[in-house]
């Protein structure tokens, strides 16, 4: 092989590998132990640790309510908001090419083909067109970046994002979305940029993602996590130490970013910037092509890995802890009460390892 070809091959390899390398950002909490730096304590020191983040849509279970809200049974025609006379789309649950089942919200798009879940049309207007989408992991998670829901054919004019921290037993609002927050929810519209460090966990209603701007121009509805982090860590999230400190010292902050389930309550479909036109109800419906949920398993800073065991996500617990979330001490290591690991003191924090009772002779 000539030197020119060899260099060209090396250049191509670097182009392929560079994005992979640059995406792996080192974290000060990616290891549960390290060699002790103290000569007096030769061996290993325990460190607080957490699993890497990933897109949790790969592991979510999807349930859609009420029964019969998904289109296709019976087959139905659909129109577009931009052109009410263009009604060539069809949904048919019996045809693989024409069906739009719920799992298409979490699949990987291949070959540029967009796949999506779709509801029935608003044929029963003025009865509300309501749909609930419940996303479950059977595991406590911590969101680490923006949650993005991609709608085809228009974003809802009214919806709520809810979360559960107890595997769906109880629910609480995460954020309200409407083209008119005061009319829909009796709340004044706000944006995350309006929040201060003292009220960062406030549940708000935003109009940013609901007003009609065209179905093709704006598709995403976002739950802005990065903007909340930046209140403490700065616009580019450079000062993460400040965020870690607040996670430990601000009551309720870590719980705000924790969930085991999410639920989308779709309350009113896109209207195309007009009032409901009852003479053509075939153009009103919901359609979701993708849901991105960047998060990590919550392991209480006692594990650096999260694994799938018996079809369930489990923390691979260290520090002599056990349980799905490393939420208790193992038997034989209960000489003191269990505590989660701590980000403090910076830069390496405190492991709060469970310990065995000291034997007395």
Instruction: Examine the domain organization and report whether 95 and 188 are in the same domain.
Output: yes
Query: Does any domain span residue 13?
Result: no
Q: What are phi and psi of 11, to 5 degrees?
A: -60, -45
Q: How many domains does the chain have?
A: 2
Query: Does any domain span residue 165?
Result: yes
> Please, which residues have CB within 8 angstroms of residue 113's CB and are 6 or more apart in sequence?
none
Query: Does any domain span residue 74?
Result: yes
Residue 269's CB is within 10 A of a number of other CB atoms, namely 27
Angle between the N-to-C axes of helices 240-249 and 226-233, in degrees from 0 to 180, rounded to the nearest 10: 100
Instruction: Examine the domain organization and report whether 230 and 136 are in the same domain.
Output: yes
Query: Does any domain span residue 227?
Result: yes
Query: Residue 161 has which token pair?
Result: 């994002």
Instruction: Examine the domain organization and report whether 342 and 287 are in the same domain.
Output: no
**Which segments of the chain are extended strands (E)?**
33-35, 44-46, 54-55, 61-65, 76-78, 89-91, 117-118, 131-143, 147-151, 158-164, 172-178, 205-206, 220-223, 258-268, 287-292, 294-297, 306-309, 312-315, 321-322, 328-329
The DSSP call for residue 201 is T
Confidence of residue 41 (pLDDT cuts 50, 70, 90): low
Instruction: Examine the domain organization and report whether 65 and 202 are in the same domain.
Output: yes
Instruction: Examine the domain organization and report whether 197 and 339 are in the same domain.
Output: no
Is pLDDT above 50 for 23?
no
Instruction: Examine the domain organization and report whether 315 and 293 are in the same domain.
Output: no
Query: Does any domain span residue 3?
Result: no
% of the chain residues with pLDDT over 90: 78
Residue 34's pLDDT is 82
Residue numbers of the domain that contains 84: 54-297
Confidence of residue 33 (pLDDT cuts 50, 70, 90): confident
Report the chain's mean pLDDT, rounded to a whole number.
89
Question: What does each C-alpha distance from 274 to 81, 87, 271, 277, 284 come to in angstroms?
Answer: 10, 19, 6, 8, 12
Instruction: Examine the domain organization and report whether 115 and 213 are in the same domain.
Output: yes
Instruction: Examine the domain organization and report whether 181 and 317 are in the same domain.
Output: no
- The CATH number of residue 237's host domain is 2.60.120.260
> Is residue 167 within 8 Å of residue 136, measured between CB atoms?
yes
Instruction: Examine the domain organization and report whether 340 and 260 are in the same domain.
Output: no
Instruction: Examine the domain organization and report whether 147 and 292 are in the same domain.
Output: yes
Q: What's the longest Cα–Cα distance across the chain?
A: 89
Instruction: Examine the domain organization and report whether 307 and 210 are in the same domain.
Output: no
pTM for the structure as a whole: 0.89
Query: Does any domain span residue 141?
Result: yes
- The CATH number of residue 306's host domain is 2.10.25.10
Query: Does any domain span residue 11?
Result: no
Q: What is the pLDDT of residues 201-247, one digit of tens each?
A: 999 999 999 989 877 789 999 999 999 999 999 988 999 999 999 99
Is pLDDT above 90 for 4?
no
Query: Does any domain span residue 77?
Result: yes
Instruction: Examine the domain organization and report whether 285 and 304 are in the same domain.
Output: no
């Amino acid at each position: 092989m000539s030197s020119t070809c060899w260099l060209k091959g090396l250049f191509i390899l670097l182009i392929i590998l560079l994005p992979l390398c640059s995406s792996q950002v080192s974290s000060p909490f990616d290891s549960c132990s390290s060699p002790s730096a103290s000569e007096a304590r030769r061996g290993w020191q325990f460190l607080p640790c957490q699993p890497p983040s990933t897109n949790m849509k790969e592991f979510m279970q999807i349930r859609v309510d009420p029964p019969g809200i998904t289109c296709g049974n019976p087959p139905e025609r659909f129109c577009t908001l931009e052109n009410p006379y263009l009604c060539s789309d069809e949904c048919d649950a019996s045809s693989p090419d024409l069906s739009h089942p719920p799992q298409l919200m979490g699949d990987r798009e291949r070959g540029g083909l967009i796949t999506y879940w779709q509801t029935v049309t608003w044929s029963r207007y003025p009865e509300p067109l309501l749909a609930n989408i419940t996303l479950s992991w059977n595991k406590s998670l911590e969101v680490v970046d923006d949650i993005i829901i991609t709608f085809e054919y228009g974003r809802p004019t009214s919806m709520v994002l809810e979360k559960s921290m107890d595997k769906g037993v109880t629910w609480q609002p995460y954020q309200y979305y409407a083209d008119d927050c005061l009319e829909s929810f009796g709340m004044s519209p706000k944006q995350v940029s309006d929040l201060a460090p003292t009220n960062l966990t406030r549940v708000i209603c935003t109009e940013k993602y609901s007003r009609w701007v065209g179905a093709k121009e704006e598709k995403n509805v976002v739950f802005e996590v990065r903007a909340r982090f930046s209140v403490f860590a700065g616009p580019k999230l450079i000062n993460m130490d400040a965020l870690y400190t607040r996670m430990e010292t601000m009551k309720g902050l870590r719980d705000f970013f924790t969930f085991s389930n999410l639920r989308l309550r779709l309350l009113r479909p896109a209207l195309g910037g007009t009032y409901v036109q009852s003479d053509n109800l075939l153009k009103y419906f919901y359609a979701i092509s993708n849901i991105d949920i960047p998060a990590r398993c919550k392991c209480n800073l006692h594990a650096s890995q999260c694994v799938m065991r018996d079809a369930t996500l489990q923390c691979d617990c260290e520090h002599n802890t056990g349980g799905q979330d490393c939420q208790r001490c193992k038997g034989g290591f209960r000489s003191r009460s269990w505590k989660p690991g701590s980000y403090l003191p910076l830069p390496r924090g405190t492991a709060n390892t469970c310990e065995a009772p000291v034997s007395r002779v």
